[in-house]
Amino acid sequence: MFLRRNLWRSGLRSEVQLRELLRRGLSSASPSLPPFDHQPRPYKGMLADEVLEKRKKFLGPSLFYYYQKPLNIVEGKMQYLYDETGKRYLDAFAGIVTVSCGHCHPDVVNAVVEQSQLLQHTTTIYLHHAIVEFAEALASKMPGNLKVVYFVNSGTEANELAMLMARMYTGNLGMIALRNAYHGGSAGTIGLTALHTWKYPIPQGEIHHVMNPDPYRGAFGSDAAHYAKEVEDHINYGTSGNVAGFIAETFQGVGGAVELAPGYLKLVYDIVRKSGGVCIADEVQSGFGRTGSHYWGFETQGVIPDIVTMAKGIGNGLPLGAVVTTPEIASVMSKRIQFNTFGGNPVCSAGGLAVLKVLDKEKRQAHCADVGFQLIDRLRTLQQKHDIIGDVRGRGLMLGVELVSDKDKTPAKAEAAVLFEKLKDLGVLVGKGGLHGNVFRIKPPMCFTKQDADFLVDALDYAISRL
């Protein structure tokens, strides 16, 4: 449909011409994966059908999976994954934005194995060098007075702890979050999350959601001042006038790779602090140089938060998260016992420190900027060719491609589902986001190359041309 419309626009009025050009386009060869020097091991385990059967029998029914016929992924190497047949896929979603260095990066694997052979677990009731070495290295990456680190096991736990810190420090209860946000699925963080598809109907407790400063779909476009004024009005009319804190992702992940309107956080942080609250930056997906331009997402807005939460890329797949805050805020947690059995255990700490070293040694932030620039440029060129691409957004390797079915920006939900399957068949694995699942989330391991970027765009072009 879209290809036909574009052909008519180009001045080709003959139906015979249209049919011939369509035939030629549809008969062209599909793009091929870039060469990669890795031979997967022969797989001898359970096949996909049996795995799925046992999963349905023994795991919770709330678990979902991608694709009509789910993939049985059995091996990974850097930016590629392999299924049970040995077929290679370009991983453009990085285990939901988790694999930062690359699948099975040897430096991270070696650090984990070496520590596992010495000591797998104690807790912080004893001393161990790994946790303090990791904390010191992580604190060195933070601006301002963000120097105190708490280790947890996930982004959800990190945001739970950050919310507790905000309430303890300020003495207030009200938390402000953005619509379209995702901050976790626990009983506490589910309140901060603002996408109904991820929320169970349970009490949320003193959490307020304000307008999302979305430059593409937001009521005020890129006008940060109008969105900030709405936050101020909400505090004045919808709260006691004092709040505990404000939390936001600089680049909304699950919400569809939405980058907040430029200058928004600086305005809102000032408003929140004047109302007695602290400012929390959720860096679970956008941290560690993924945006290319900066190491942390909040730096793109020129602000320094009071609390920063992180997970996912911090461990390259290890169950690891962290909260970093100031000594003043951290001091309130000493009023009671604050403890996490597995937070900062020796194996995860050794692995997390190895991740930081790899990202520095391999200059992954600069790499994300370089590859991301080419990828965005090619995607925006593709946008001019296909009407179904309504928006290309993000920076570095933190990108979103929103699909729409008309000029009114109606989400192309059905078309996105078809293209999602087709990309998988072509060897490209992307994520889905947005309330309607019409945004392709392109957030690959940070070793993703320019050749991979070209293949991804060629595959998307090929798939769209065959809708």
Give me the CATH number covering residue 270: 3.40.640.10
Q: How many domains does the chain have?
A: 2
pLDDT of residue 263: 98
Asked, for residue 143, whether it belongs to a domain, the answer is: yes
pLDDT of residue 205: 85
Asked, for residue 293, whether it belongs to a domain, the answer is: yes
The answer on 313 and 271 residing in a single domain is yes
The answer on 383 and 250 residing in a single domain is no
Question: How far, in Å, CA of 342 to CA of 185, rounded?
Answer: 19
pLDDT tens for each residue of 258-300: 999 999 999 999 999 999 999 999 999 999 999 999 999 999 9
pLDDT of residue 243: 98
pLDDT tens for each residue of 38-86: 999 999 999 999 999 999 999 999 999 999 999 999 999 999 999 999 9
The pTM score is 0.92
The answer on 179 and 216 residing in a single domain is yes
pLDDT of residue 330: 97
Residues in the chain where the model's pLDDT stays below 70: 1-27
Asked, for residue 422, whether it belongs to a domain, the answer is: no
The answer on 378 and 352 residing in a single domain is no
Q: Is the distance from CB of 211 to CB of 218 less than 8 angstroms? A: yes
Asked, for residue 51, whether it belongs to a domain, the answer is: no
The answer on 324 and 273 residing in a single domain is yes
The answer on 348 and 390 residing in a single domain is no
The answer on 184 and 150 residing in a single domain is yes
Q: Is the distance from CB of 133 to CB of 351 less than 8 angstroms? A: no
The answer on 283 and 149 residing in a single domain is yes
β-sheet bridge partners, residue 398:
395
**Which CATH number does the domain housing residue 375 bear?**
3.90.1150.10
The answer on 368 and 277 residing in a single domain is no
Q: Which domain holds residue 391?
A: 363-408+460-466
Q: How far is CA 6 from CA 22, 280, 389, 462, in A?
A: 11, 46, 13, 15
The answer on 397 and 278 residing in a single domain is no
Asked, for residue 212, whether it belongs to a domain, the answer is: yes
* SS3 readout for the chain: CHHHHHHHHCCCCCHHHHHHHHHHHHHCCCCCCCCCCCCCCCCCCCCHHHHHHHHHHHCCCCCCCCCCCCCCEEEEEECEEEECCCCEEEECCHHHHCCCCCECCHHHHHHHHHHHHHCCCCCCCCCCHHHHHHHHHHHCCCCCCCCEEEEECCHHHHHHHHHHHHHHHHCCCCEEEECCCCCCCCCCHHHHCCCHHHCCCCCCCCEEEECCCCCCCCCCCCCHHHHHHHHHHHHHHHCCCCCCEEEEECEECCCCCEECCCCHHHHHHHHHHHCCCEEEEECCCCCCCCCCCCCCHHHHHCCCCCEEEECHHHCCCCCCEEEEECHHHHHHHHHCCCCCCCCCCHHHHHHHHHHHHHHHHCCHHHHHHHHHHHHHHHHHHHHHHCCCEEEEEEECCEEEEEEECCCCCCECHHHHHHHHHHHHHHCEECEEECCCCCEEEECCCCCCCHHHHHHHHHHHHHHHHCC
Question: How far, in Å, CA of 312 to CA of 329, rounded?
Answer: 24
Pair of tokens at residue 196? 């109904």
Asked, for residue 338, whether it belongs to a domain, the answer is: yes
